[in-house]
Structure 1
Amino acid sequence: MSYSHLSIIERSKLEILHSQGRSSRAIAKELGRHPSTICRELYRALASQPYQAEQAQNAYEERRKASVSPGNWSDALAASL
């Protein structure tokens, strides 16, 4: 199963549609996404405040950085080669 992450453009559209009071299913249909994708995205961001696309994108980028393993490469290993 393959999937793609929400882009900043999709997050901006989501923010606008959500602020207009549209349902998760209506937003999903508009964006061509599964409703659970929209629900998860809104749930992640609505814990403390209204959904904001830019803040959601920044949080996504931070989660991606944290998920990457640093690996075994080091300066000492580079010097020995």
Structure 2
Amino acid sequence: MAKHKSFTVATKVNVYFCDPQSPWQRGTNENTNGLLRQYFPRKTDLSGYSQADLNKVALRLNQRPRKTLDFETPASKLHASVASTG
């Protein structure tokens, strides 16, 4: 985290941190990390995975029902949200 600025410059990937006054953000972050650990153990070098491999994991996670979403999937919640704005 201390080198987030140099990381952003080198990779052109923005780095975001949880707001200190929003404890729910941290819980969501930790939950997501736990889900990702099912596919990529700690200190996994992601350079050994293709973009197709990473896309498969993202698809599986986005199609997984979540208790915090009343057992709906993130994909279905996003679809409903986008559909309601169109």
| TM-score, L = length of structure 1 | 0.23
Higher normalized contact order (CA 8 Å, seq sep 6+, divided by chain length): 1
